[in-house]
Amino acid sequence: MEEKKRLILNLELKNFFFKQLSQSLKTASMGWIYSLSHDKEFLIDNLEVKSCNIGKFKKDKKNYNLPLTQAEFCLFQKLQSLVTVESRWKLMKEITAMSNCSLLKDSFENQTDEQALQLAKKFISSNQKFNIVVIGAGCCGLFFANNLKKKLGGLVNILVCDNRIQEPRVKEIYSRNWLTNLPKFLFNSKVDKSITEVFDWFSNSDYIGVNLNMMEVLLLQSCKKIDVKFLFKKDPYDELIINSGIDLIIDATGGKIYQYYPEHETKEILLNIPTNENNTENLSFLLKEKNNYHYPFFLDKPIINYQFKIVGITENLNTIITDYVNKNNRDNLFYVWMGKLIKELNEVLIIINIKESNIKIFQDLLKNRIHINEFAQLEEKIKLKIDSRIIELINLILKNKPIDSQIYLEPPFAYIPRVKLFYKDLPKYHNKIIYPIGDSFYNGNAKVGNGLGMHLLHIEELTKTIEKSLLS
């Protein structure tokens, strides 16, 4: 890309980021305000607990020894060849759980890391094209790649990299089988049509319904179909970026490459969020910087909630669960959410708040997800330490669930909101603009719906800005 065009693009991106910033902060703060108002009895104070790294949990042991399936495989064709919705759903479940699926291979199969790196570098150094590297092949990175490629086609070369791999050239499976709460309009005519067609099979409401990992696998397959390239490799991507023809780096790592950013000049920023339409009342947050992110503090306390999820509950248990929860939820211990899939496939999700004194118990118990039947075998003396309503609700589910149900308790997670802020300019990494999207920008509160859906809206506006700048 010509230097002049690149400078114009950088300017447009900077204007876009700073123009959107106050709205983005307002959106991010919806999650903070929810925690302070609804989940206030579960906010965590203890510094020691806060600093323990929840990401250190052991992962489920996956079987990575199977050879990769050789056959070239198109998920969309395979789905089309099936007639019933149930058989298509079963295939989606199988594919997302399959570690040896050829879909997980990158675009440089049979090459060594070094060869793949050189080929990838050549690909994103074309003089005739706009060259973009997306770091992170999660939902936002894939959505960005699909959306921009759809807009710009042959004008752009997009390389998506990910370092969570089974072996060189093969990505880890997409394992987060979480329900999503994403309206269809976020995808319709913004990504390849094959994807939205699949959403329509599984949900007849205005929401896509499918689990996060299904959405990721569909986006991955579609990106490959429209000629987005992938590089799955363990090490950082410095060698790829230095002395390359990359015009723009997109950080879609969920906030994992904070060290790629320069330090922010301002360590503490006061942020007033209006709480009424006339802007006459505000909530004041102090944003404090740590590891290149700013964390909101309210009245000198950070905002931290620990929670765990119960997943895989069939829709027919919803009435029993909501009856119990409605009578026993004065402090918002439970959050019940009904999925948006068609009736035959639909599930209920329960998010349960964890009190500070119970965090260690749940961390030990849920190092990996456990089947709900395992919870019944928990020692009585441990059960006595847990809020009795959690025990009662789980017993109620155990009593009413079908024998073969696949209900799981997932490892606890923390909502620790943070946001990436820049001082005047967009940051550069090895002299290339690096732009954060998705959870690399800010993380949402799963109960408020201010995360993924809002990220996708932002990405659509970002790709429009890129399109406008390049086509002008």
List interacting residues with ligand FAD (CB under 6 A): 135-141, 161-164, 178-181, 212, 252-254, 256-257, 413, 438-440, 444, 446, 451-452
End-to-end CA distance of the chain: 14
d(CA 413, CA 401): 25
Contacts of 436 (CB under 8 A, 6+ apart): 250, 251, 252, 255, 420
Cβ closest to ligand FAD, residue 201 vs residue 413: 413
156: nearest Cα among 141, 171, 145, 170:
145
Query: Shortest approach of ligand FAD to residue 162 CB, angstroms?
Result: 4
Cβ closest to ligand FAD, residue 139 vs residue 195: 139
d(CA 201, CA 97): 20
d(CA 101, CA 97): 9
Query: Shortest approach of ligand FAD to residue 216 CB, angstroms?
Result: 8
Query: Shortest approach of ligand FAD to residue 419 CB, angstroms?
Result: 13
Query: Shortest approach of ligand FAD to residue 256 CB, angstroms?
Result: 3
Asked if residue 434 lies in contact with residue 420, where contact means CB atoms within 8 angstroms, the answer is: no
Asked if residue 430 lies in contact with residue 112, where contact means CB atoms within 8 angstroms, the answer is: no
Cβ closest to ligand FAD, residue 161 vs residue 214: 161
Cβ closest to ligand FAD, residue 192 vs residue 438: 438
Query: Shortest approach of ligand FAD to residue 139 CB, angstroms?
Result: 5
Which DSSP letter does residue 416 get? -
Cβ closest to ligand FAD, residue 151 vs residue 233: 233
Cβ closest to ligand FAD, residue 150 vs residue 256: 256
| DSSP, residue by residue, 195-237 | HHHHHHHH--SSB----HHHHHHHHHHHHHHTT-EEEE-SS-S
Query: Shortest approach of ligand FAD to residue 4 CB, angstroms?
Result: 31
Query: Shortest approach of ligand FAD to residue 280 CB, angstroms?
Result: 32
Query: Shortest approach of ligand FAD to residue 471 CB, angstroms?
Result: 26
Tokens coding 368: 């990996």
Helix or strand holding residue 132 (H, E): strand 130-135
Cβ closest to ligand FAD, residue 359 vs residue 452: 452
149: nearest Cα among 218, 213, 222:
222
Cβ closest to ligand FAD, residue 13 vs residue 137: 137
CA atoms within 13 A on the CB side of 19: 10
Asked if residue 419 lies in contact with residue 293, where contact means CB atoms within 8 angstroms, the answer is: yes
